[in-house]
Amino acid sequence: MLGEGDALLTAVPGLLLSIRTADCVPLLLVDERRKVIAVAHSGWRGTAGQIAVAAVEAMREHFSSRPKDLHAAIGPSIGPCCYDVGPEVAAQFQSIFPERADLSRRTHIDLAEANRRQLLQAGIPSERIYVARICTSCNPAEFHSWRRDRGTAGRMLTVARIRP
């Protein structure tokens, strides 16, 4: 499939899929058995809207991928150390973090962990989910960060392809 959006998937060898991020979570999904890949851009809205689950479902629907066969990589993103949100955003995460009693007020959210939980919910085995756990905001020499740099933030490119 060709297109533009917060999630893209393909089974076309050699075709590059890419997403741009600057604090949001880059997700990469690979089905080695079916030779299918997906990339997704998961900010707080995408995470609250379960884009990780939707990407797995799209791979299943369009290419007969089985979640148990997938590998998922969660790239560098803003960490819970730096991702402070208001109660209107925090409340969106209650179903993802049911153990948290602080989501009705200003708090910190772990977007990578939220996406990891959703990938587990979608059926990907935990040993096939790889999380970078690198905060983009804490590492200015290595990563762009919208939160840290505001209007001057660049973007990072995450790219995947199936070898021809």
> Model confidence at 2, in pLDDT bands (50, 70, 90)?
very low
- Among 106, 65, 78, residue whose Cα is nearest residue 22: 78
Tens digit of each residue's pLDDT (9 = 90 or more) over 131-159: 999 999 999 999 999 999 987 899 999 99
Determine, yes or no, domain membership for 76.
yes
Tens digit of each residue's pLDDT (9 = 90 or more) over 17-68: 999 999 999 999 999 999 999 999 999 999 999 999 999 999 999 999 999 9
Determine, yes or no, domain membership for 29.
yes
Determine, yes or no, domain membership for 39.
yes
Domain range enclosing 136: 7-158
Tens digit of each residue's pLDDT (9 = 90 or more) over 90-130: 999 999 999 999 999 999 999 999 999 999 999 999 999 99
pTM of the model: 0.94
Q: How many residues does the chain have?
A: 164
Determine, yes or no, domain membership for 163.
no
What pLDDT shows up at residue 47?
Answer: 96
Residue burial 150-159, b: 16+ Cβ < 10 Å; e: rest: eeebeebebe
Q: Is the pLDDT of residue 1 over 50?
A: no
Determine, yes or no, domain membership for 133.
yes
**Residues with Cβ within 8 Å of residue 50, at least 6 apart in sequence:** 118
Give the number of other CB atoms < 10 A from CB of residue 42.
Answer: 28
Question: What is the CATH classification number for the domain harbouring 137?
Answer: 3.60.140.10
What pLDDT shows up at residue 3?
Answer: 53
Number of domains into which the chain is organized: 1
